[in-house]
Amino acid sequence: MKPTRITELDLHDVPQVYHNLKYNDGEIYFADNITSIPGLMKQFKVNFIAYVMVTEGRLTLDMNGATYHLDRNSSLFVDHKMVIENIKHTERFSCLICAMSTDLGFAFFNKSLLQSIMHIMANPVIKMEQAEIDLMMKYYELLVFKMDHPEMNFGRETVRDIIRCFAYDLLSNINKHLDNDNDGDMLRQSDRIYRRFVLLLTEKSNVDRSVKSYADELCVSPKYLSSVCRRHSDSTASELIALSVVGRIKQLLLYSDLSIKEVAAEMGFDNLSFFGKYVKKHLGLSPNHYRQANGYGK
C-alpha cells in the first residue's frame, strides 16, 4: 500500500484556499478569520513561515505529530515544511494570521530576530498578556486602514516598515516569556551548527553563495552541513543559501532605487549576464521584467 501523499501548500496557493485576505502582496499575507475555509484541509505541509494569534475561542491542531492547544491570547509559530493536520476550533473563534515566504523571511529578519525565532521554534506556543496582544492588533488595524485608504498609502515599502515594526515588537514581547538560559547546553551539535548556519545567512546573503565557504567557517564538511540542513528543514545548504540570496535580491529589485547593475554589484555578482541568468533561474523573469511585473516604484 502506497503512503498517502501529503498536500503541499505554497504561499501562492493561499488566495485560492482563502478569499478574504486583508493584505496580500505575493510575499506577505494577513488574514483574520479562517473559519470560512472549506473543511480546513485535513492534512497539508506549509512551504512558508506563519504566525497565528488567537483572539477569541480555542484552537487545537497537530504539527509534525505534536498536538498544540491555543487559547485566547496564545500565539503559534509555524516553520516552513511543517505538516499541519486535525485542525479544530470552538464555535466562537477568531484569530490573526501572518504568512510570509521563506526567502523573504531570510532577508527580512536580521540576526537578533532570527535568534528569537529559533528559540520559539523549540516551543512554538506562547501565552501573551492582554497589553501585548493589544499592541499587535493596533499594528494590524493600521495595516488594514492603509489598505482601505490607498490615497494615504505612499508606497509598498511603508507597508513593509509597518510589518517590520510588528515583527520586532512581537518578538520582543515573546522574548519576555522565554527561558533561554540553558538553551545552549541542551542543543545537540547538529542543532548548534544549523542555528549558526542560518545566522550566518543573515550576515552574508549579499555576497557568499558557496556551501564550502559556510562549511569552512563552521568547521564541518559541505556534505555534513547539507545533511544537517536536510534534517532540520528538508532543504540542502545550497537551497537555503539560494533562499537567502533570492530574498535579498527581491528586496533590492522592488524596494530600492539601485539600477540592475548596482543590485548585481551589491549582491556580489561581478558579471551582469550571470546575475541576469541567476535571477531568471530563481524568479522566472529577468531582473527588469521582474521589476515591471511586480509594480516597481508604485
What is the per-residue pLDDT across 131-155, written as a single tens digit (0 to 9) for each? 888 898 898 888 888 777 767 666 6
Would the pLDDT of 277 be above 90?
yes
CATH superfamily assigned to domain 7-175: Regulatory protein AraC (2.60.120.280)
Average pLDDT over residues 89-94: 88
- From the number of C-beta atoms within 10 Å of its C-beta (0-12, 13-18, 19+), residue 25 rates as middle
* Lowest mean per-residue pLDDT among 139-153, 208-222, 282-296: 139-153
What whole-number distance in Å separates Cα of residue 134 and Cα of residue 53? 11
Q: What is the mean pLDDT of the chain?
A: 80
Output the pLDDT for position 1: 41
Average pLDDT over residues 91-119: 73
Measured between alpha carbons, how far is residue 186 from residues 190, 191, 262 in Å?
12, 9, 44
Average pLDDT over residues 102-112: 65
Task: Dig out the grid coordinates for 111 from the structure.
Answer: 540576526
Average pLDDT over residues 55-75: 90
> Which span out of 14-28, 157-171, 220-234 was modeled with the highest average pLDDT?
220-234
Output the pLDDT for position 24: 76
> Across 90-127, where does the E strand assignment appear?
94-100, 125-127
Would the pLDDT of 39 be above 70?
no
Confidence class of residue 185 from pLDDT cuts 50, 70 and 90? very low
On whether the pTM is more than 0.75, the answer is no
Confidence class of residue 181 from pLDDT cuts 50, 70 and 90? very low
CA 215 to chain centre: 24
Output the pLDDT for position 276: 92
Average pLDDT over residues 38-44: 67
| DSSP assignment letter at 4 | P
Q: In what order do the strands lie in the sheet with 43-46?
A: 7-9, 43-46, 83-89, 59-63, 66-70
Confidence class of residue 70 from pLDDT cuts 50, 70 and 90? very high
CATH 2.60.120.280 boundaries in the chain:
7-175
DSSP H or E segment with residue 109: none
CATH 1.10.10.60 boundaries in the chain:
189-293
DSSP H or E segment with residue 49: strand 49-56
Confidence class of residue 184 from pLDDT cuts 50, 70 and 90? very low
Does the domain spanning 189-293 belong to CATH 3.40.50.300?
no
- Dihedral, CA of residue 164, residue 196, residue 11 and residue 52, to nearest 10: -60
